[in-house]
Amino acid sequence: MEQPVDVLEQSIDSDNEIGYETLQVPWWVVLLEGIIAILVGLFLIYRPAITTIILIQFLGIFWLAEGVLSVVGALIFSGNRIWKLLSGVLSVIAGIFILMYPIYSPIIVLTLFVIFIGVWAIINGAVKIALAVKGGGWGTGIIGILTIILGLLLLSDSLIGTLSLPWVFGFFFIIGGIGAVIGGFKMRT
């Protein structure tokens, strides 16, 4: 007769636990991703307008292709057909709009993104303030207040946020790319 195993007594290194495989990629792939990220970041900083237009065009092509595949998938496979069809049609419309209006679409996409970030910042700040009130500390409350102020600033003048977003993304790409290059070299050794 089998004895029940107490979950608390199992070791963390047990073979019975749910495992997640680590993604095994060659070191040079990580290095190449880092170099590409640095290049895109530099282009976003030094040529923000044309780089943003090109990146938004790639986004439009992706949305168009994903939308067509989603519509085809909704027609062929059962399950969530309405949502797949709706998602596909919206993606196709967004992709066509972006490709038809290459000059206006980056402004519209970035403005919507800035509005999304502003709303998210206000909600996130309110959650941080609530956590601070429940005992999270005054540091959490200050971060919450600053996050709400950032959200309100983005929502009050989304044009400034839209115009500065390529530079912000550029710096993030450069920092992430440097991290990937360092990680790639560390993987090699």
- The pLDDT tens digits for 4-62 are 555 445 455 555 555 556 668 888 999 999 999 999 999 999 999 999 999 999 999 99
Answer whether 0.85 is exceeded by the pTM.
no
pLDDT of residue 140: 86
pLDDT of residue 51: 92
Over residues 129-179, the pLDDT tens digits come to: 999 999 878 888 899 999 999 889 889 988 888 888 899 889 989 999 999
DSSP secondary structure letters along the chain: -PPPPPGGGS-TT-TTS---PPP---HHHHHHHHHHHHHHHHHHHHSHHHHHHHHHHHHHHHHHHHHHHHHHHHHHS-SSHHHHHHHHHHHHHHHHHHHH-TTHHHHHHHHHHHHHHHHHHHHHHHHHHHHIIIII-HHHHHHHHHHHHHHHHHHH-HHHHHHHHHHHHHHHHHHHHHHHHHHHHHHH-
Neighbours of 142 (CB within 10 A): 13
Cα separation, 186 vs 28, whole angstroms: 11
Question: Given pLDDT bands bounded at 50, 70 and 90, which one contains residue 189?
Answer: confident
pLDDT of residue 2: 54
Residue range 104-122: mean pLDDT, rounded:
91
pLDDT of residue 65: 96
- Taking all residues of the chain, what is their mean pLDDT, rounded to a whole number? 86
